[in-house]
Chain A
């Protein structure tokens, strides 16, 4: 019989778009119908991490995960699992290797190899209730810092932990705090950079949506160590749920006395504001971000002076990203000795990655620093989709690079990745298979950086545009062999002479793809061929009249009506209207569509 228990429904952005909201309503209706509304609680949590199989729910009592749950499954879940205590086998995850359903969370490969510290509350607590955070040791670190430690001791502890900035560059956090603390001035600010603009990265959003108090607590402790009394969270406007949860969390923290004046009876005051960005990738750069809060165009400026000396409104300011801040409560609560056991010699702790692209298990993955790419992609991610061959993993977004199969045993830490020509970046990992063209990927990133370049400095504004034009030409089969050298030359110049991080790292995707996939550039230029069959200008489709049985399946599924013909006679593709989507190739049962 059902006893007091909770059903955790993932209501993060991914699962919400797969229908988690309706699922919560349906569960509540069904529980009421069965007279269980008093004993069983349905909790909408933050991201549980397994976005591929969303919406997901966890029956907390037995730690069982149900995947791809729909409203139609609700009655059975309540009747079987909640009332009779019998698992609904058809909704369990099928293990890829054993091909058997897996009952418990801890036995699912995707979760078993992870080490969840920052994500420990995500998908477990209701992020809109502060009591659920405090019940899981929330705000204990703040109490420890304010009651038992001086601000010097807090700073020292963070320095000893070896924590490095999770925003990408990996600057030691304690050192950064020390600069701001040492700067002259009474008024100081701390800022949380939640302008997570890297396409394919969503870990900061998930932390803010699923565990907003951990970020607030981290900022409070940082402000105490630095001597700041006001803070901002700069969050992308594209993340409405993160902003909403953050605002609720701030209000509840104020009511509970964790934010405001004389926090927990001490003489420490701290006020926190949320600032919604307005859609500009460059605002992830710290000086651009501050200009944006000041109500200006978000353009970076020359450093020095560094923000630690002259930042927001000219006052000393310390900026860290979401994941960095949410590391802080764990370091203070458990001590730096505990923290330094995790990770490698120079990169401590864990890192969250957003695993996406052509991988079986997309979702959020938290692993100790130093885990290899192979472990993340194959052991946790379950390898490449549809049995295709692995080609590359893109790491670090528009500032990072693509790594081939031969580099898969690279440990993921700041220094190893930098050596390999990529960077940890914010933590997006996009998996690419044999059908992804690497020249096209380089062109894709350049089209992104040219659009997002703020235009202030010439190398970035003009240089990225020229590189884009060359890459575009190559993907159309109009490249010249000297283009590769020109690209490398331009890339190095832009890297050295751009004003801010955006321009300095924009050439990385090109340099890395030329380094590891030069043969693909050459195939486009010399042979006018795209080895991956992805560049549409180098493709043409036609129908083999002898093989075509005239079934019309291709024409029926063609999104543009460019295939015409009569039943039982060979069909014809009109090339002018063809968008080269390849749907006809996938649909034809007789291999009659020829792709050249």
Chain B
């Protein structure tokens, strides 16, 4: 490895430090900092949490407590395509569970898991607010509505 490069700081860390500087002196900075750190890294790796702890002078245990409390934060990286299956009430009564079962069977993963090739991550969510189109799933925030189990294979194939 080039020894000079060791001196360089990871560009992501520069972004993270900017975020920390921006929020550090505001009231209640932790959650916005974690949200933006996750935007930078895609998830919250241990070394990032340690860095936040050190620079913001917040105990790591407290940060870990917050990260594991909220559904938005992830400690492991997700796949290239994140599938959110809505199981809100409207989707439930219009057959959301069958859509979920079909996806689970097709990809051989369960809620919260990622396929081995890192192509898909499956997550169950409660209501994305597109109840008029129930049952819906969203893949990378793109909503597919009025679904039937037989639509699934075709839709999944669109995402590499």
Using a CB–CB cutoff of 8 Å, the interface residues on chain A facing chain B are 13-14, 17-18, 51-52, 54, 197-202, 205, 237-239, 275-281, 292-299, 313, 354, 356-358, 362-363, 394, 397, 428, 430-432, 436, 441, 444-445, 448, 454, 557-560, 579, 581-583
List A contacts of B145 (CB < 8 A): 17-18
List A contacts of B92 (CB < 8 A): 199, 441, 444
List B contacts of A280 (CB < 8 A): 69-71
Whether B130 and A14, one on each chain, are in contact in the complex, defined by CB atoms closer than 8 angstroms, is yes
Write the B14-46 contact mask toward A (1 if CB under 8 angstroms, else 0): 000000000000011111101100000000000
Whether B132 and A362, one on each chain, are in contact in the complex, defined by CB atoms closer than 8 angstroms, is yes
Closest to B148 in A: A583
Cβ-defined partner of A557 (8 Å) among B66, B101, B150: B150
Whether A198 and B133, one on each chain, are in contact in the complex, defined by CB atoms closer than 8 angstroms, is no
List B contacts of A558 (CB < 8 A): 150
Report the Cα distance A579→B149, complex, angstroms.
Answer: 10
Report the Cα distance A199→B89, complex, angstroms.
Answer: 6
B53 in the interface (beta carbon within 8 A): no
Whether B150 and A13, one on each chain, are in contact in the complex, defined by CB atoms closer than 8 angstroms, is no
Report the Cα distance A298→B71, complex, angstroms.
Answer: 12
Write the B120-156 contact mask toward A (1 if CB under 8 angstroms, else 0): 0000011111111110101000110100111011000
B76 in the interface (beta carbon within 8 A): no
User: What are 27 inter-chain pairs, A to B, with CB distance below 8 A?
Assistant: A17-B136, A17-B138, A17-B145, A18-B133, A18-B145, A51-B131, A54-B132, A199-B89, A205-B129, A275-B31, A276-B35, A278-B31, A278-B70, A278-B73, A279-B70, A280-B70, A280-B71, A294-B28, A295-B31, A356-B134, A358-B93, A430-B89, A559-B149, A559-B150, A560-B102, A560-B105, A581-B102
A237-B35, A356-B132, A444-B89 given; name 7 further pairs at CB < 8 Å: A14-B129, A199-B92, A279-B71, A280-B71, A394-B89, A397-B89, A583-B150
List B contacts of A52 (CB < 8 A): 132
List A contacts of B72 (CB < 8 A): 237, 278-279
Closest CB of chain A to B132's CB: distance in Å?
3
Closest to A201 in B: B127
Closest CB of chain B to A307's CB: distance in Å?
16
Cβ-defined partner of B30 (8 Å) among A18, A238, A295, A432: A295
Whether B133 and A199, one on each chain, are in contact in the complex, defined by CB atoms closer than 8 angstroms, is no
Whether A293 and B28, one on each chain, are in contact in the complex, defined by CB atoms closer than 8 angstroms, is yes
Whether A579 and B71, one on each chain, are in contact in the complex, defined by CB atoms closer than 8 angstroms, is no
B65 in the interface (beta carbon within 8 A): yes
CB-CB under 8 A for A14 and B133, given A358-B93, A432-B93, A559-B153 = yes
Closest to A50 in B: B132
Cβ-defined partner of B130 (8 Å) among A17, A197, A237, A581: A17
B54 in the interface (beta carbon within 8 A): no
